[in-house]
Structure 1
Amino acid sequence: MDPAKTIPLEGRGDDLLRFGIHGVKSDIIEPHPLQSARRSAKQTQEETKKKILANTYGSAFPMKMEMDRQILAKFQRPPGAVPSSFVGLEAFTGTMEEFGFEDYLNDPRESESYRPVDLHHGMEVRLGLSKGPPCPSFM
């Protein structure tokens, strides 16, 4: 049998029963125009901060800070009822001092329509055994 004509049996990302109908529009544009402006402003701010630190302390210092940030971003709880808090990463990057939308509009995980992530599917996605949308509890 020709391998080009076979259907792979691994986990599929287009599972309509589990994930619903996929819309391409949501991949192209963001829900609000200010999100792209905020993200680009944050990226330019981080780049200028790295340049200033490299000019002041040498080029190894921003690399060390990036390595520390990656290490702190790795520690996560298993997907399920308790989401990862990333307190160390928030303290390191200074995002603890930011006032986000969830501080005054409520956290989306606390709403009545929020469904907790399936533990088994979340671990399959994390380990690369299944494809699907990323689970919000460990992102």
Structure 2
Amino acid sequence: MEISKSSIPNDVTGAQNNAFRFGLNGVKSEIVGVHPLQPLLESSRRAHEEVKRTVMANVYGSAFPLKMDLDRQILSRFQRPPGALPSSILGLEVLTGSLDEFGFEDYLNDPRDSGNLRPADMHHGMEVRLGLSKGPVCPSFI
């Protein structure tokens, strides 16, 4: 008889309450929501992408947006193994046009470059990526 991982409760496996791996839980992050403008920004971005997709379908034919979706799926899968070097998704940034955007990390530095983050746990990163473990993913795994 095989025991599946989903039948084992989280308190036995320690997937969510592992203080050594993820640090102590804070209450502030559970209480404070997202910034009020963030949902508006995401909805406007989705609306802009939908209009762009419709224009491309009208100009180049209905197969072109499907080809771009396939390219987006392929380029979003490329990642380095978790470890010292963060994944660079340059091809996806070029395809979506986000390479031309000027974000806060461009003038306030990337938070991953500060020395405040713990070193990446390569074993946990691979467990999360393969679906063997659940838990918060450190930004350096992305």
Q: 1:46-85 to 2 correspondence within 5 Å? A: 46-85=49-88
- Structure 1 40/65 Cα, relative in aligned 2: closer, same or farther at 3 Å? same
Residue identity (%)? 57
RMSD over aligned Cα atoms: 2.4
Q: Equivalent residues in 2 for 1:92-103 (5 A)?
A: 92-103=95-106
CA contact (8 A) 1:11 1:131 kept: no
Tell me the equivalent position of 1:107. 110
Q: CA deviation at 1:28?
A: 8.1
Which structure has more relative contact order (CA 8 Å, sep 6+)? It is 1
Return the offset for 1:27.
Answer: 8.6
The unaligned stretches of length 5 or more in structure 2 are none
Superposition TM-score, scaled by structure 2 size: 0.81
Tell me the TM-score normalized by structure 1. 0.83
Change (3 A) 1:24 1:114: closer
Aligned in 2, Cα 1:25/1:136: closer, same or farther, shift over 3 Å? closer
> How far apart are residue 94 of structure 1 and its match?
1.2
Q: Distance in 1 between matches of 2:31 and 2:87?
A: 25
Q: Deviations over 1:56-112 (max 9, x none)?
A: 222211111011011001110011110011111111111111101100111001113
- Give distance in 1, aligned partners of 2:55 and 2:101: 22
Q: Are positions 1:132 and 2:132 aligned together?
A: no
C-alpha separation in 2, matches of 1:64 and 1:34: 32
1:23-73: per-residue Cα shift (whole Å, max 9, x none)? 59649831x222222211111110111111112222211111011011001
Moved over 6 A (4+): none
> 1:54 and 1:11, CA in 2 relative to 1: closer, same or farther beyond 3 A?
farther
Measure how far apart 1:7 and its partner are.
4.7
Figure out how many residues of one structure are paired with residues of the other and give that number: 134
**Of 16, 25, 28, which aligns to 1:21?**
25
